[in-house]
Every structure is written in structure tokens, then in C-alpha cells.
Amino acid sequence: MLQSRTPESSESVLLLSAAHLTQLLDHRALLDGLRDAMRAYENEAVPRARRAHSVVTAGNAQSVMIVFPGIVPGIPAYTVKVNAKLPERTPSVLGLLSLHDMDSGRPLAIMDSGVITAVRTALLGGVAADALARRAIETVAIIGAGVQGRGQLKALQMVRSFTHVRVFDTDRARATRLIDDVSPTVNATFTVADSVEAAVRDADVVITATWAKRPFLTRRMIRPGTHITAVGADEPGKGELAADLILASRFVCDDPDLALSMGALAGASLGKEAIHASLGAVLNDSALGRVHDDDITVFGSVGLPCQDLVAAWQAFGAARAVGVGGNFRFLPDRQ
């Protein structure tokens, strides 16, 4: 459950690094917190705000600067996050998240945004898979062997058991590295696939986490009953799923407007008629998710500020409880 008061703290600002956040975040508890946040979002109890701006770096590489302000009922704080996304760099997401007291606006913490973004995105995929995928699955396909490929697989393991994982990446060495990294903690056999089609053949769950500019996954490749978690199309100009696949599926998204303007639907040039429901509506039981075992279900994620706040608030409370993180006096001493 979401906490309802600010942890006791001094007037100083808590500084949390990526390493701190990796240590502090409780993934199991975050699953529940994200469910609550998406239910509140569906009930319009959460402001719907997100701004993205294209920028060009000094080396003429394309990047995106994204500003997220986050509010969730029951959390007496808000977040503001600024991310830069540079696909040619590692890590590809860099930025800061600031956590502020709701009543006074006083900054409570400043933390790395990359870990917050990666963890909450992966866990939201787990929430969606739990709501939409068949209960019994065997084979998982991962397309894109980056941070989200790893994170989504680990989140899926929290809500489903499976026995085999196929991994495809345009860089075969990256696929091999993913397997080396996650196989010790994921109880399944792993295979590097030679193509997208080989990876998804007969898969029960497909995870797409790529920088693709054009759709590559079509209806012909997907068997009935498959669930797809698509997280790559999170800004304008990106797309992973073809229109025929989306139209043949029960398409669920975190935010319908964003799905149309910069998400999976925008990438496939589809309109609102392609939306079956929002994830919040499915979680609130005001819309059905999967109805039949042979339904194809899709969760198209763009990412919302309220998801950041749930993770940041948990990390802040945990840091205060165990006494980790640096401190910085941002405001002047009171006279």
C-alpha cells in the first residue's frame, strides 16, 4: 500500500546514486504500488502530464529531452524528472529526478533517473503481463537485449513461470551477454535466435524493447494466445508492432492519448479505434483484458510520471530508514 506521510527528515536534500537505488528498491512492493497508481490514473485522480522535445547533440546525434511531473494520491510528495535519451550511448537514458514535499515544495531528494525509469518500466510490464497473459506459459521471446530486455524478463518471472527464453538482437553479442547476465537468476533454458521470426515462433509471451523506427513484428509471426509487451515505442518516430498485429489483438495501453501521439499506435499509424482499453481500466475491472486463451493481447507502454513517483517515494523512505545516501543543504538556514 502507498504510504501516507513523509518520513521524518532534516531540512537537507537526500542524494541517491544509481547504486543506492539498485540497493533500495523493493521490486515486489513496487508491483503493488504500480497497480495502485495505474488504477488511480484511470480514475483521473492523477494529472496527465508529459512533455518531450527533440534535441540535437554537438555530434549531430538525435536525442530526446523528456520532462515528467508526477503525482499519485496518497503520496504527500511529487516528482519532476528530466531524462535525456541517446540510443548510441551506454547508458542510453541519463538524467535526474527530484522529489518534493507536496505541502511546501521543499526538495526532499535528488536521485539518478536511469534506475528509476528502468525499474518502474520493467515492473509495469510485469503488472500488465499478470493482467493479460495466459496463466500457463512456456516460451518467452525477447527482442532487444538491452536494459529493458533484461528488466522485463525478470519482472515477468515475478508473475509467471516459464521454461525457455529465446533472445534476438541485431548485435548477436548483446544477446549472448543478456543470457550470461540473467541466466543465473532465471530458471529457464536460453537460446540466441537468428531472427525476429525465429525468436517469436510459438512463443507465449513476446517482449519488444528496441529503438526501432519502423514496425518489424507482424500478425503472421504471432500465434493465437500470445501476449506481447511492447516498450520501445515511447516517443514520436518509433515503432515496433505492425498495424495488422495490433488490429488483430486486444490492445491495452498505459495512456490512450500518448499511445496515439507517440506510442505503439502512432508507430503503426493507427487511430483510437485500435485501443481495446487502458491498463488502469483492466486493473479496475471496468474493462476486460484477456477473454479467451487464443486472444492475442498487447500492452503498449509509453511511461507515465506517476510511475516514477511510486518508485522514488519508496526509495526515499527506504534510504531514510537505513541511513544511506548523501546529504546536501539546498535551502539557506532559517533566520
Q: What is the CATH number of domain 132-300?
A: 3.40.50.720
Continuous H helices in 74-161: 113-132, 147-159
Instruction: Count Cα atoms within 13 angstroms, Cβ side, for 173.
Output: 0
pLDDT recorded at residue 2: 39
pTM (2 d.p.): 0.90
pLDDT recorded at residue 278: 97
Classify residue 94 as exposed, middle or buried by CB count within 10 Å of its CB (0-12, 13-18, 19+). middle
The residue to which cell 518531450 is assigned: 52
Cα dist from 333 to 12, 14, 193, 204, 320, whole Å:
10, 16, 60, 58, 21
Q: What is the pLDDT along the chain (335 residues), one digit of tens a residue?
A: 334 344 444 578 999 999 999 999 999 999 999 999 999 999 876 655 555 555 555 555 555 555 556 788 889 999 998 888 777 777 788 899 999 998 888 999 999 999 999 999 999 999 999 999 999 999 999 999 999 999 999 999 999 999 999 999 999 999 999 999 999 999 999 999 999 999 999 999 999 999 999 999 999 999 999 999 999 998 889 999 999 999 999 999 999 999 999 899 999 999 999 999 999 999 999 999 999 999 999 999 999 999 999 999 999 999 999 999 999 887 666 54
pLDDT recorded at residue 83: 83
pLDDT recorded at residue 117: 95
pLDDT recorded at residue 105: 87
Which residue pairs from 104-109 have beta carbons closer than 8 angstroms and sit at least 24 positions apart in sequence? 106/11, 106/331, 107/13, 107/330, 107/331, 108/6, 108/9, 108/13, 108/14, 108/77, 108/316, 109/13, 109/14, 109/15, 109/16, 109/312, 109/315, 109/316, 109/319, 109/325
pLDDT recorded at residue 90: 76
pLDDT recorded at residue 250: 98
pLDDT recorded at residue 118: 96
> Would you identify the CATH topology of the domain 13-117+305-328?
ornithine cyclodeaminase, domain 1 (3.30.1780)
pLDDT recorded at residue 4: 39
Domain boundaries, the chain: 13-117+305-328, 132-300
